[in-house]
Chain A
Amino acid sequence: MHHVKCLPAADIAAKVAELCVQACVTLPPDVLAALERAHEREESEVGRGIIARLIENAALARELNLPMCQDTGLAVVFVAIGEEVHIAGGSLREAIAAGVRQGYAQGYLRQSVVRSPLDRRNTGDNTPPVIHTEIVLGDALTITVAAKGAGSENMSRLRMMIPSDGIEAVKRFVVEAVENAGASACPPLVIGVGLGGSFEQCALAAKQALLRSLGEPNPDPATAELEQELLDLVNATGIGPMGVGGRVTALAVNVETRPCHIASQPVAVNLQCHAARHASYTWE
């Protein structure tokens, strides 16, 4: 007899609602620590002043229970669901959507979703969320809510390179994306890079890279080396905090690689503003 764990849909909805608010109000400790390191490292007086205000903003948001940024984003939800988990009393998809609906209403978060780019009618409850589901072994369920604002998302890009372009072209592509974004993406940035995979997997890898803790390099040494090199290149642009000049244009570059076709070398750059908001919960 197989063991199956039952999780009530209503519990999942309630937790997702909490995660939406938590993500928008409380800056994760690794991001706050990276901002504090950036404040020490920044040589530009104006840039240092901006980072100090971002740290102050994070403290105020937590204290007043206000979102740190008015763009409380599209809710991008990552789900890792064990094969032995059963959702009772509703569908997982609807439970997550209900959680987003509740969280954005109860947390006084902004409704930033339109139902179609053609009529641009606001759905009024920040649904639907974007849900990425991965099926894993076991009986645990992990849900991560990332509130993704458009300022940095709009400046993200993907290119289907070919192997002869080489890794130098990848580096140029990342730096160009950051240069092109400038202050629009709200630097200091977190930069997620997807390298390899299929067209859509490459973009997803770039977004997944944003979820890794800042200051935690990719476990693969060659990838970690590329991350450090990209960070140095990006910080040499001089864009600085909010684009007004300085040494800290990015807090981190996280690269995720994926196996790819012999003819392909896709690269995606997902930019994330300094308010790198996400929150997770695991039902074990």
Chain B
Amino acid sequence: MPEQPIRLATPLCDDDVIALRAGQRVLISGAIYTARDAAHRRMAETLSQGKPLPFDVRGQIIYYAGPTPAPPGHIIGAVGPTTAGRMDAYVLQLVELGLKAMIGKGPRSEAVKAALQAHRAVYFGAIGGAGALLAQTVKSVALVAYEDLGTEAIRRLVVEVFPAIVINDCYGGDAYLEARAMWRRA
């Protein structure tokens, strides 16, 4: 039997991050921020102009997600993770500013893994395609920035026991590679 999931509350501190190891299951509660391709490009432009980001990333978690519109009676539509690799180019400058975690799916580059080690940050994988299920963990939604980007706007979600798995920890561990080594058949 796998170990019980670790409960995490946001914002995260260094102690939270250094306790995590690739392959562990976590349940995240608190505020997380959605941002994907277009929002990252804008944040990078903002930083290159020497301006502050629309939210303070210190200790925070960015969730790579673009939800479907909320139908009547719901606060959000389906909201599962998108492929993280497309945001690889932006990770270093965000973790340098104190971002502690990202949630997405799919492998990260070697440069991202090195940045996680250098700045004590972590990458979580959520269940891709479980958008309806993950929407049930969202307790409130607030627009933070870039409303014109529609689904790609930055939103602050307060989640309760959002399930994820540590994919890349701050020691260079990689759950995807470890899993393949364990389960591959020659």
Contact = CB atoms under 8 A, between A and B. Distances in A.
Contact of A56 (B131, B133, B181): B133
Interface stretch (A92-100, A133-141, A178-186, A218-226): A178-186
B132 A61 contact: yes
A186 B128 contact: yes
A108 B182 contact: no
B172 interface: no
A65 to B, nearest CB: 7
Contacts of B179: 238-240, 243-246
- Best-buried of A54, A61, A67, A239 by chain B (most CB within 10 Å): A67
Given A70-B80, A244-B165, A247-B183, A57 B128 contact: no
A70 B125 contact: no
B129 A68 contact: yes
A242 B105 contact: yes
Interface residues of A, number: 49
Contacts of B79: 70
Interface stretch (A4-12, A42-50, A209-217): A42-50
B135 interface: yes
Contact of B105 (A44, A109, A184, A274): A184
B184 A236 contact: yes
B51 interface: no
Interface in B15-29: 23, 25
Contact of A108 (B38, B71, B125, B165): B71
Given A70-B151, A238-B179, 15 more contacts: A46-B165, A54-B129, A65-B71, A66-B74, A67-B78, A69-B128, A70-B68, A182-B106, A237-B184, A238-B180, A238-B184, A239-B176, A239-B183, A242-B125, A246-B179
A184 B106 CA distance: 4
Contact of B133 (A45, A53, A186, A238): A53
Contacts of B2: 45-46, 49
B127 interface: yes
Contact of A70 (B65, B106, B165, B184): B65
B77 A154 contact: no
A151 B132 contact: no
Contacts of A1: none
Interface of B: 1-2, 23, 25, 38, 65-71, 74, 77-80, 82-83, 85, 105-107, 125, 127-133, 135-136, 150-151, 163, 165, 167, 175-176, 178-185
Contacts of B165: 46, 242, 244
A118 interface: no
* The 3 nearest A-B residue pairs measured at CB: A245-B179, A238-B183, A184-B106
A60 B178 CA distance: 32
A110 B135 CA distance: 15
B80 A66 contact: no
Contact of B176 (A46, A49, A111, A243): A243
A154 B84 CA distance: 13
A275 interface: yes
B67 A70 contact: yes
Interface in A54-91: 54, 56-57, 60-61, 64-72
